[in-house]
């Protein structure tokens, strides 16, 4: 294995960086060839290391953020009641019912839920149940029935899967009867032997109809069950046992909200339907049992936004109604103060809840008791005298229960012990596998607290016992969070050190191999030429890695923990092995003048600002608009000092940047505009004609000579250019004809399909045979990818293609102007600098501090290609109608391939322009690539800390995808380099001997 720095020492001893070089040209050639072979091997090793590192570290977020909170092995803790308050409980969940739409009156001033409203005022208790995002059906039902919030590891397993089996109120019951949606009922009942359940077929969930009939179906199933019991003695005996749960899942509001929006008459009428069902269920059971031992809970799993969606933490999604009445439930109380009597102080949806009850609800005089959604599970369990679900984190809302003082304390103690048992189990698991276990200090003496509570209960000091029990419960919840995040600090430190070490390794590689720094250090005697053994560093690194591996094995750490730590130790061992270079660099910097540090700090500040803007652009595309508006002005002013305004280049650069700035203001959902796509073909032809004219007539101009240089001009190149123009015109015509025919005849004409495939395929091959000047080849590439992009476009993204190409040309002109300005300042190369050109590669020079702008501008343009018309995750990027000019018969793999190819085309333009610029200014492309990866990893670390395990599925998924996207750039950019190298490797510029070279720092 080639270690970082080993080659640097051999290079310095060989003298190829300006120390002790041979005077014999043959010996120099041998040394140069040897260096190039070494450099290729070393960079191959660096790329492999980078790919492995990013792949391993990308997995770390699942060990940090997405570990299941569920543990097994705890004993249930039933409340110590002489007799439970209720024999049976009915749970009615109206899926997607918003609190405000349930409580507020309609346009006529009448309330939509008269029965439940009467219950609130005369018979039971009410409040708002606060859901925690993701406000989806499964997480909401898990919180209500199992008492804990969505297992975050479920995001990696799919919405319907149960990543880990969990306990629920249904599990603890003697028997559960459940009817409703096929997406919900099987989650809780399919593996439950003591359950009777049924669900309707998926085909019933038709968004084109009024879905309230689904609620009626659930009620009819339960009514039919009771009717059958009159003729079935076993069923009747079962129905008369205690600890029974009846669950009716009412999906109507959710389906109608999605299809018709929550303001629609269909949705609002569905509120009346569920109220009527609640009334019918109540009267049915009261007539059936006649014992007043039934409890009723009515609530919803989540609300519904005004747009007919849910998932995030907006109050319209998190605020759901809660109404409870029957056995064990308190009667209404008059409101005092702000009408609230909250059983908890912190709500999981993180919104303010001290606001008064809305006046139009008409309930300000009735006391309101708000709860967290997970609090409903211990409420149901306590009503039936059941143990709380063993993984529940809910607090028993005493404001709903009708218990005497002793029973209240016993119920809260049972709730507290159940949560404490989870903590003790997690503590035991962690301590049994940890050599340096750190317990949760506030609960080290929990046994004493429990004994104290028992003593106070025996002494009938119920108020003091209640206070101690509540405090112990709150501490237990804090302890659960402590053990859930127990490894976070260690893992996040290791991963951060790993990324930092990787960036330092890249920086040292660039400094050693692509800058004149090593030679400068040797000349100033800051870098000893003596070979010193670095074996001690590697032995120390191996010893540390072995010790940490043994510790991980003893602690039974997951296998990936070994990989995280091993990778980080390896990288820092590599860094410390370069201690002589780092020490020499420090001495070198100490001798520099103040103006050097000002330049260095300014460059670092600009780089950090740009990288941070790129980070924020992942959530705010409009930042690019401001960036290009400012960049257009700044670039034109800088060009003013290099070239005269009459050349038109400064104005062109400014206008092109401003033109591109428009697109990130447009919606990501691209509207269909066939005429705009056709017009875009004409714009592409006009741009290419202008480039052709400049390529032909501006070759003698000193500002254009570098990009219009040709080794030869042939008639075939002119003919090829005409063919490409023709293909763009054909593709524009086919856009019009194919769309018109498909719209009128509802099919794709086979001849149109053949022509489209032929034009798109052949056009991409033609640039390989174009002239090899920079402007000629890039114009040909622009024309070559235009037909497939036009044929895959549906709207303004076709114009974006031209706008991006024009900005890329502006970038090339800017770099060309800077290149020309440098040549004017330095008319000839010193002997030493000539040698430096040779050692890096053919006609390549060392990187300068000012060259940092090239990878930074590349990153901005690369991300603009990503976000200019949306992004990979947007609806616009995967608009299926984009492929209808090539295929209309459903073929997922072919359609996906075409859509992804369309997204890749702007990236390929940016990479081609980047490759051309590295040739134009004679900097090593791989050196710039490593700088791109270095800056990308600054973004990676930022996104690593922005990964979310709470919020909507979209927010969680986006945070993961953002981290994954920037992590994958080490591979993605390299693959695009390899692909575009087919087009750019034959580009030629003026030989170094015929043009002045640039000054190096």
Average pLDDT over residues 304-314: 87
pLDDT digits (tens, 9 = 90+) for 353-409: 556 789 999 998 999 999 999 999 999 999 999 999 999 999 999 999 999 999 999
Average pLDDT over residues 757-772: 89
Domain assignment present for residue 692? The answer is no
Question: What pLDDT is attached to residue 530?
Answer: 41
Maximum separation of any 2 CA atoms in the chain, in Å? 111
- The residues facing 89 across adjacent strands are 245, 295
What SS3 class is residue 245? strand
Percent share of the chain, pLDDT over 70? 84
Band (870; pLDDT cuts 50, 70, 90): low
Domain assignment present for residue 166? The answer is yes
Percent share of the chain, pLDDT over 90? 47
Average pLDDT over residues 968-992: 83
> 3-state secondary structure string, 401-448?
ECCCHHHHHHHHHHHHHHHHHHHHHHHHHHHHCCCCCCCCHHHCCHHH
What SS3 class is residue 326? strand
CA 351, 352, 357: angle at the middle one, nearest 5? 120
Please report, for the domain that includes residue 345, its CATH number: 3.40.720.10
Band (3; pLDDT cuts 50, 70, 90): very low
Length of the chain: 1001
**Exposed e or buried b per residue across 275-310, where buried means at least 16 C-beta atoms within 10 angstroms of its C-beta:** bbbbbebbebbeebeeeeebbbbbbbbbbbbeebbb
Tokens (6 digits) for 649: 């280049």
Tokens (6 digits) for 280: 């019918």
Phi and psi at residue 196, to the nearest 5°: -125, 120
- More confident position, 66 or 839: 66
pLDDT digits (tens, 9 = 90+) for 911-964: 999 999 998 888 888 889 999 999 999 999 999 999 988 777 777 777 888 898
Residue 992, pLDDT above cutoff 80: no
Q: Regarding beta strands 88-94 and 294-299, do their DSSP bridges make them parallel or antiparallel, or are they unpaired? A: parallel
Q: Would you call the peptide bond into 921 cis, given omega within 30 degrees of 0 as the criterion? A: no
Distance set, CA 368 to CA 298, 324, 360, 362, 378 (Å): 15, 12, 15, 12, 19
Question: What pLDDT is attached to residue 645?
Answer: 63
pLDDT digits (tens, 9 = 90+) for 289-302: 999 999 999 999 99
Task: Average the pLDDT over each of 62-76, 379-393, 811-825 and give the range with the smallest value.
Answer: 811-825
365 burial (CB, 10 Å; 0-12 / 13-18 / 19+) is exposed
Element (H, E) at 547: helix 535-554
> Do 318 and 349 contact (CB within 8 A), yes or no?
yes
Question: What pLDDT is attached to residue 882?
Answer: 72
Residue 96, pLDDT above cutoff 80: yes
Residue 72 CB neighbour total at 10 angstroms: 11
- More confident position, 8 or 599: 599
Domain assignment present for residue 50? The answer is no
Question: What pLDDT is attached to residue 834?
Answer: 42
> 3-state secondary structure string, 455-473?
HHHHCCCHHHHHHHHHHHH
Report d(CA 663, CA 647) in Å as an integer: 28
Distance set, CA 149 to CA 152, 292, 795 (Å): 9, 33, 43
Average pLDDT over residues 480-486: 91
- The region, left, alpha or beta by phi > 0 then psi within -120 to 50, assigned to residue 759 is alpha
pLDDT digits (tens, 9 = 90+) for 679-716: 999 999 999 998 888 877 766 566 666 677 666 566 67
Domain assignment present for residue 489? The answer is no
Residue 829, pLDDT above cutoff 70: no
Which one, of 390, 372, 369, lies nearest residue 381 by Cα?
390
What total of structural domains would you count in the chain? 1
Nearby residues of 198 by Cβ (< 8 Å), 6 or more positions away:
179, 185, 221
Write down the H helix ranges in 591-622. 594-617
Question: What pLDDT is attached to residue 670?
Answer: 72
Band (593; pLDDT cuts 50, 70, 90): confident
Task: Average the pLDDT over each of 48-62, 407-421, 666-680, 894-908 and give the range with the smallest value.
Answer: 666-680
Task: Average the pLDDT over each of 121-135, 806-820, 825-839, 884-898 and give the range with the smallest value.
Answer: 825-839
Average pLDDT over residues 79-90: 92
The single residue listed with the structure tokens 């064990």 is 328
Distance set, CA 387 to CA 167, 383, 427, 466, 519 (Å): 11, 10, 22, 19, 75
Question: What pLDDT is attached to residue 355?
Answer: 67
- More confident position, 577 or 276: 276
Residue 811, pLDDT above cutoff 60: yes
Band (25; pLDDT cuts 50, 70, 90): low
User: Mean pLDDT in the chain?
Assistant: 84
Q: Regarding beta strands 319-326 and 125-130, do their DSSP bridges make them parallel or antiparallel, or are they unpaired? A: antiparallel
> Do 588 and 518 contact (CB within 8 A), yes or no?
no
Report d(CA 995, CA 535) in Å as an integer: 46
Which one, of 855, 827, 853, lies nearest residue 969 by Cα?
855
Domain assignment present for residue 493? The answer is no
Question: What pLDDT is attached to residue 14?
Answer: 35
Average pLDDT over residues 26-39: 68
Residue 17, pLDDT above cutoff 70: no
Nearby residues of 85 by Cβ (< 8 Å), 6 or more positions away:
295, 327, 328, 382, 383, 385, 401, 402, 403
Task: Average the pLDDT over each of 209-213, 228-232, 807-811, 894-898 and give the range with the smallest value.
Answer: 894-898
Half-sphere exposure of 304 (CA within 13 A, CB side): 29
Question: What pLDDT is attached to residue 27?
Answer: 62
Question: What pLDDT is attached to residue 711?
Answer: 62
Question: What pLDDT is attached to residue 714?
Answer: 62
Helix, strand, coil percent content, the chain, rounded in steps of 5: 60, 5, 30
The single residue listed with the structure tokens 């090829």 is 720
What SS3 class is residue 91? strand
Domain assignment present for residue 436? The answer is no
Question: What pLDDT is attached to residue 20?
Answer: 38
Question: What pLDDT is attached to residue 150?
Answer: 75
- More confident position, 533 or 886: 886
Nearby residues of 680 by Cβ (< 8 Å), 6 or more positions away:
732, 790, 793, 798, 799, 801, 802
pLDDT digits (tens, 9 = 90+) for 243-257: 999 999 999 999 999
Report d(CA 122, CA 55) in Å as an integer: 62
> Do 642 and 820 contact (CB within 8 A), yes or no?
yes
Q: Virtual CA dihedral for 38, 43, 46, 47, nearest 10 degrees?
A: -150
Report d(CA 38, CA 48) in Å as an integer: 15
CA 694, 698, 704: angle at the middle one, nearest 5? 100
Distance set, CA 99 to CA 128, 224, 299, 316 (Å): 7, 30, 9, 8
> Do 347 and 370 contact (CB within 8 A), yes or no?
yes
**Exposed e or buried b per residue across 205-216, where buried means at least 16 C-beta atoms within 10 angstroms of its C-beta:** beeeebbbebbe
Residue 712 CB neighbour total at 10 angstroms: 9
- Which domain does 144 fall in, by range? 89-387
Band (823; pLDDT cuts 50, 70, 90): low
Domain assignment present for residue 380? The answer is yes
Question: What pLDDT is attached to residue 531?
Answer: 45
Average pLDDT over residues 880-903: 78
pLDDT digits (tens, 9 = 90+) for 158-190: 544 455 578 999 999 999 999 999 989 998 998
Domain assignment present for residue 24? The answer is no
Which one, of 511, 534, 516, lies nearest residue 16 by Cα?
516
């Amino acid at each position: 294995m080639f270690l970082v720095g080993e080659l640097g020492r051999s290079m310095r001893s060989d003298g190829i960086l300006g120390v002790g070089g041979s005077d014999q040209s043959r010996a120099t050639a041998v040394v140069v060839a040897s260096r190039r072979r070494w450099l290729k091997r070393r960079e191959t090793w660096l790329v492999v290391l980078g790919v492995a590192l990013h792949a391993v570290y990308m997995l770390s977020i699942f060990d940090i953020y997405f570990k299941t909170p569920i543990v097994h092995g705890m004993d249930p803790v039933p409340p110590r009641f002489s007799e439970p308050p209720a024999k049976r409980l009915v749970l009615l969940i109206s899926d997607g019912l918003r609190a405000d739409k349930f409580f507020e009156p309609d346009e006529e001033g009448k309330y939509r839920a008269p029965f439940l409203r009467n219950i609130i005022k005369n018979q039971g208790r009410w409040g708002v149940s606060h859901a925690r995002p993701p406000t989806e059906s499964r997480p909401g039902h898990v919180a209500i029935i199992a008492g804990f919030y969505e297992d975050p590891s479920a995001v990696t397993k799919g919405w319907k899967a149960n990543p880990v089996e969990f306990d629920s109120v249904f599990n603890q019951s003697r028997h559960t009867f459940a009817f409703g949606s096929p997406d919900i009922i099987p989650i809780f009942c399919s593996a439950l032997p003591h359950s009777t359940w049924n669900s309707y077929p998926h085909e019933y969930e038709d968004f084109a109809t009024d879905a309230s009939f689904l609620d009626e179906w659930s009620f009819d199933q339960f009514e039919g069950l009771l009717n059958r019991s009159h003729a079935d003695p076993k069923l009747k005996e079962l129905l008369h046992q205690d600890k029974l749960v009846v669950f009716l899942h009412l999906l109507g509001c959710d389906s109608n909200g999605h299809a018709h929006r929550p303001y629609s008459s269909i949705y609002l009428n569905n509120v009346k339907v569920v109220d009527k069902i609640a009334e019918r269920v109540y009267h049915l059971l009261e007539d059936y049992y006649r014992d007043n031992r039934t409890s009723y809970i009515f609530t919803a799993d989540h609300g519904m936004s005004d747009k007919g969606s849910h998932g995030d933490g907006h109050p319209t999604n998190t605020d759901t109604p809660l109404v409870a009445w029957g056995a064990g439930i308190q009667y209404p109380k008059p409101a005092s103060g702000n009408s609230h009597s909250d059983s908890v102080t912190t709500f999981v949806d993180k919104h303010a809840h001290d606001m008064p009850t809305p006046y139009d609800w008409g309930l300000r005089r009735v006391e309101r008791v708000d709860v967290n959604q997970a609090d409903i599970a211990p409420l149901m369990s306590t009503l039936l005298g059941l143990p709380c679900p063993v993984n529940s984190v809910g607090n028993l809302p005493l404001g709903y229960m009708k218990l005497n003082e002793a029973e209240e304390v016993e119920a809260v103690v049972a709730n507290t012990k159940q949560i404490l048992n989870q903590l003790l189990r997690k503590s035991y698991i962690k301590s049994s596998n940890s050599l340096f276990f750190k317990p949760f200090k506030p609960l080290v003496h929990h046994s004493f607290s429990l004994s104290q509570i028992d003593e106070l209960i025996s002494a009938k000091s119920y108020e003091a016992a209640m206070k101690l029990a509540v405090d112990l419960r709150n501490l237990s919840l804090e302890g659960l969070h402590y053990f859930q995040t127990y490894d976070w600090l260690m893992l996040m430190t290791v991963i951060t050190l790993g990324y930092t070490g990787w960036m330092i390794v890249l920086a040292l590689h660039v400094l050693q191999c692509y800058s004149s720094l090593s030679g400068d250090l040797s000349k100033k005697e800051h870098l000893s030429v003596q070979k010193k053994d670095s074996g001690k560093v590697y032995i120390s690194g191996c010893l540390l890695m072995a010790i940490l591996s043994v510790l991980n094995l003893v602690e039974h750490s997951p296998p990936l923990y070994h990989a995280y730590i091993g990778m980080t130790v390896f990288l820092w061992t590599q860094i410390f092995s370069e201690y002589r270079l780092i020490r020499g660099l420090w001495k070198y910097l100490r001798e520099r003048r103040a103006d050097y540090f000002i330049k260095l700090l300014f460059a670092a500040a600009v780089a950090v600002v740009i990288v941070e803007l790129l980070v924020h652009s992942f959530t705010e595309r409009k930042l690019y608009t401001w960036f290009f508006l400012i960049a257009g002005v700044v670039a034109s002013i800088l060009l003013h000092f290099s070239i005269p305004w009459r050349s038109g280049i400064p104005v062109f650069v400014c206008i092109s940047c401003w033109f591109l700035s428009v697109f990130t203001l447009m919606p990501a959902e691209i509207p269909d505009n066939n005429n705009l796509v056709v017009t875009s073909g004409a714009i592409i032809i006009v741009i290419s004609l202008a480039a052709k004219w400049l390529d032909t007539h501006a070759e003698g101009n000193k500002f254009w000579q570098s990009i219009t240089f040709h080794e030869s001009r042939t008639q075939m190149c002119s003919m090829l250019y005409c063919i490409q123009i023709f293909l763009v015109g054909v593709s524009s015509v086919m856009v019009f004809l194919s769309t018109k025919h498909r719209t009128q005849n509802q099919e794709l004409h086979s001849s149109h399909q053949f022509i489209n495939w032929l034009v798109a395929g052949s056009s991409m091959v033609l640039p390989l045979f174009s002239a090899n000047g920079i402007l000629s080849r890039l114009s040909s590439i622009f024309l070559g990818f235009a037909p497939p992009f036009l044929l895959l476009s549906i709207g303004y993204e076709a114009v974006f293609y031209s706008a991006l190409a024009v900005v890329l040309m502006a970038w090339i002109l800017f770099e060309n102007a800077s290149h020309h300005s440098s040549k004017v300042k330095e008319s000839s190369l010193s002997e030493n600098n000539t040698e430096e050109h040779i050692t890096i590669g053919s006609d390549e020079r060392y990187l300068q501090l000012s060259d940092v702008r090239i990878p930074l501008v590349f990153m901005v343009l690369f991300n603009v290609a990503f976000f200019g018309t949306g992004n990979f995750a947007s609806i616009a990027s995967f608009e299926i109608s984009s492929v209808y000019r090539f295929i209309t018969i459903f073929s997922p793999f072919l359609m996906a391939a075409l859509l992804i190819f369309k997204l890749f085309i702007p990236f390929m333009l940016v990479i081609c322009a980047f490759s051309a610029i590295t040739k134009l200014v004679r900097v090593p492309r791989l050196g710039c690539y490593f700088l791109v990866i270095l800056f990308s990893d600054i973004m990676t670390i930022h996104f690593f800390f922005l990964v979310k395990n709470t919020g909507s599925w979209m927010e969680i998924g986006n945070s993961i995808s953002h981290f994954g996207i920037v992590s994958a750039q080490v591979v993605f950019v390299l693959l695009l380099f390899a692909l575009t190298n087919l087009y750019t490797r034959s580009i030629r510029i003026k030989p170094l001997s015929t043009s002045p070279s640039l000054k190096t720092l």
